[in-house]
Amino acid sequence: MNVRASIEREGQAGRARRFSGHAVQFDASGAAFFPELGLLVVSDLHLERGAAHARRGFFLPPYDTGRTLAALAAVITRYRPARVVSLGDNFHDRVGAREMPADTREKLASLAQDCDWVWINGNHDPDGVGGLPGRVFDVWTFEGLTFCHEPTRRAGAEICGHLHPSAVLHRPGKSVRRPCFAADELRLMLPAFATTRGGLDLRHRAFSGLFNRKLLNVHMLGPDRVYSLPFAALGC
């Protein structure tokens, strides 16, 4: 397969694609926007990650939450959604929402007050978001779509996060690894939105059985655009 010919280079917002009958744009920030639904989806914010590690004696620069919130504010300004869904691991641990500094909490609350905000509980933060504005669910359904943190085996179209998908594109003499969206006909998995996101290669056994690889498309995040290609074009 000609890898260069397979790659579609898109702008910051990406071109509109379809998932389960709905138009969706994959943003280079890691957010997905459904224009017909006025719906913006992010996953794995991992707010207060630095503070969580500090509580355990591992000190990281304490800037992760501010940078993630700035990126979130920017993508909300870009799309002006009527509704935002955050797909779990909103905070890095159970106490992150409670221990968040007051000024940071106010910034997050102001974002959540401007639209209908839906929080999905994750494995890092199963107890919710400490009274922040918005509605809280373990699983939420809307317009035929199921929103959850971890991928499941339930029937129907599912939008999830949790695994922080990334893709490695092999080319002669080098390889490129980037966070990515992964989508087949039934499941759309988002990359982590956190600025300290990391990523797990789509070839890892954790993804086994989650996607129809013949129909799997990968949308890799570049610094200012999205690069889309079939999973098969990634190379060995």
Q: By mean pLDDT, which of 17-21, 125-129, 140-144, 167-171 is the weakest?
A: 125-129
CB atoms within 10 A of CB 157: 17
The yes-or-no verdict on residue 61 having pLDDT over 80 is no
Helix 64-79 and helix 102-113: axis angle, to 10°?
20
The residue with greater pLDDT, 161 or 60, is 161
Q: What is the percent of the chain with per-residue pLDDT over 70, rounded to a whole number?
A: 86
Average pLDDT, the chain: 88
φ/ψ of 81, rounded to 5, equals -75, 155
Closest CA to 177 of 211, 217, 227: 227
Does 222 score more than 60 pLDDT?
A: yes
Decide if pLDDT at 97 tops 90: no
The larger pLDDT score, comparing residue 14 to residue 171, is at 171
Distance between CA atoms of residues 215 and 187, nearest Å: 11
pLDDT at 149 > cutoff 70: yes
φ, ψ (nearest 5 deg) of residue 40: -110, 130
User: pTM (2 decimals)?
Assistant: 0.90
Set out the domains of the chain in order of their start, with CATH numbers. 14-234 (3.60.21)
Binning pLDDT at 50, 70 and 90, where does residue 92 land? low
Which pair of structure tokens corresponds to residue 202? 């789509």
Arithmetic mean of pLDDT, 165-177: 87
Of the chain, the percentage scoring pLDDT greater than 90 comes to: 63
pLDDT at 138 (0 to 100): 96
Structure tokens at 190: 């988002």
Residues 210, 189: Cα–Cα separation, whole Å: 10
